[in-house]
Amino acid sequence: MADDKKSNSNREPESVSVQILPNFLSSVKLKYVKLGYHYLITHAMYLLITPLLCISLLHLHLSTITIDDLVHLWNHHLKLNDATLILCSSLLVFLPTLYFLTRPRKVYLLDFACFKPEPERMCTREIFMDRSAAAGTFTEENLAFQRKILERSGLGQKTYFPEAVLRVPPNPCMAEARKEAEMVMFGAIDDLFAKTGVKAKDIGILIVNCSLFNPTPSLSAMVVNRYKLRGNVLSFNLGGMGCSAGLISIDLAKQLLQVHPNSYALVVSMENITLNWYFGNNRSMLVSNCLFRMGGAAILLSNRHTDRRRSKYLLLHTVRTHKGADDKSYACVYQQEDDTGHIGVALSKDLMAVAGEALKTNITTLGPLVLPMSEQLLFFATLVARKALKMNKIKPYIPDFKMAFEHFCIHSGGRAVLDELEKNLELSDWHMEPSRMTLYRFGNTSSSSLWYELAYLEAKGRIKKGDRTWQIAFGSGFKCNSAVWQALQTVDPTKKKKNPWIDEIHEFPVHVPKVAQII
């Protein structure tokens, strides 16, 4: 940049008689043209009605209406008899009451908490490779394969593994898996109750999602037992639904809060690593070992109107897309045994293509709910031109979702997924920062990753009152789910102590190299 400025300063001045047209494509002021178009289309109704209203008022003011005309109008047209008066009064009471009772209840997010394991659970890339080699089950070729994946994964040196996996030799068993689940769930829930001041006995709805660990009694029963939740609590345990299960839980809680007034819903999202570490040599199953890490989150929702003032966010929309009817989509993330009997989760080579189709369907549904009218018209116009008028030279228009959202929390499933979404949605490094830093610092924590990303935005002080945040996640099945939140307050990071980033947020963002060599 400095060299550019220097060369510009040494350049001889142009002759004043020569006029050079500006490059409109690179001009910064071009954005105002788009903003103006957006304003014109979005406010078209008001721009059309306002002049008509002014003309009507002016005509009324200039008309020659006398007192006698008003009296005649009342006596012959507006005067009500007793029956009409009673009917009108009843309607005035009945219709607002009907609207109040049948309108959708607003769902508020009071607060959320993300579990941050103790430093002893930290796993560097070198420790990962050392424990993989010490397991004694991987061939040299597959150890080299894991090293290559890990070096290009975008994961940093401070991700976390459960104790059973870090031991030499590893000790994957039911007792250790329960220990990990209790540590993650109870750690997050304890922090959440401390932040909100809500008592356990006030929880009316409990939803726990964990894809690969489903013991008996269930994880939700473990929470009920630990916190002595009331006997009529509505308890749900979601399993096998992949990394997008967190938003499925949010949507389920939203639906339940519509029919259970004055209720609190506790949502817990996590994944369990202990019993799902793959010890075989099928490469499609080894990728999960390199990406998934320990983590979890607890979220408290409410439909109480009195909670609005102390809530952080309002849930605006949830959109769920399921591609399970297609065989390729159904099988692209599949838990099975390999040839030697080791259980693992196989990732198909079709995964990226399937995820792209699911994303396209999801944002096509979400777009009309959130995009300004200007973007919708541009998208519709190009669609008609290409499909109906056969004008194939016109490129398909990708709506600018940056005009609908201030922040993006994209599931940090892996570097390749983030790269593709950044390119397809035309997002900036700033928009992708929460997802990339979450992948770097905590790894792929499955369904809870979206909450580590939102916690990053809060720790950075970026959440302002009125801001809209789009959470989007992918999961086995194959599913793509979205949630849209609106901030009800400006989040002050200095007042939020129980945030997994708060002690180290000054270190971020960091540069993540394309290849991080393992020593």
Bridge partners for 292 per DSSP: 444
- Model pLDDT, residue 174: 96
Catalytic residue among 303, 444, 481, 499: 444
225 is known as an active-site residue: no
* Separation in Å, CA 115 to CA 236, 359, 392: 21, 28, 50
Known catalytic membership, residue 411: yes
Give me Rg for the CA atoms of the chain. Answer: 28
Between CA 179 and CA 192 the distance in angstroms is 20
Residue 99 is predicted with a pLDDT of 62
Q: What is the 3-state secondary structure (H, E, C) of 75-101?
A: HHHHCCCHHHHHHHHHHHHHHHHHHHH
Residue type, 391: M
pLDDT at 70: 61
Q: Which residues, given as ranges, of the chain have pLDDT below 70? A: 1-66, 69-85, 95, 98-102, 396
* CB-based contacts of 165, cutoff 8 Å, min separation 6: 131, 172, 273, 274, 277
**Residue 320, pLDDT score:** 96
Q: State the pLDDT at residue 379.
A: 77
Q: Is 444 a catalytic residue?
A: yes
Q: What is the pLDDT of residue 17?
A: 37
pLDDT of residue 368: 86
Q: Is 511 a catalytic residue?
A: no
Q: What is the DSSP string of 91-159?
A: HHHHHHHHHHHHSPPP-EEEEEEE----GGGEE-HHHHHHHHHHHS-S-HHHHHHHHHHHHTS---S-E
**Could you give the CA distance from residue 433 to residue 451 in angstroms, rounded to a whole number?**
14
Position 6 scores a pLDDT of: 40
Q: What is the C-alpha to C-alpha distance for residues 126 and 99, in angstroms, rounded to an integer?
A: 61
pLDDT of 394: 75
Q: Quickly tell me which residue has 């109750």 as its tokens.
A: 193
Question: How far is Cα 219 from Cα 293, in angstroms, rounded to an integer?
Answer: 19
Choose the catalytic residue: 276, 290, 407, 480: 407
Catalytic residue among 114, 123, 210, 243: 243
In this prediction, residue 33 carries a pLDDT of 40
d(CA 188, CA 295): 9
pLDDT in tens, 252-282: 999 999 999 999 999 999 999 999 999 999 9
Write down the catalytic residue from 411, 431, 480, 499: 411
Task: Clarify whether 305 is annotated catalytic.
Answer: no
Of 272, 281, 289, 322, catalytic: 322
Six token digits for residue 126 = 């070198």
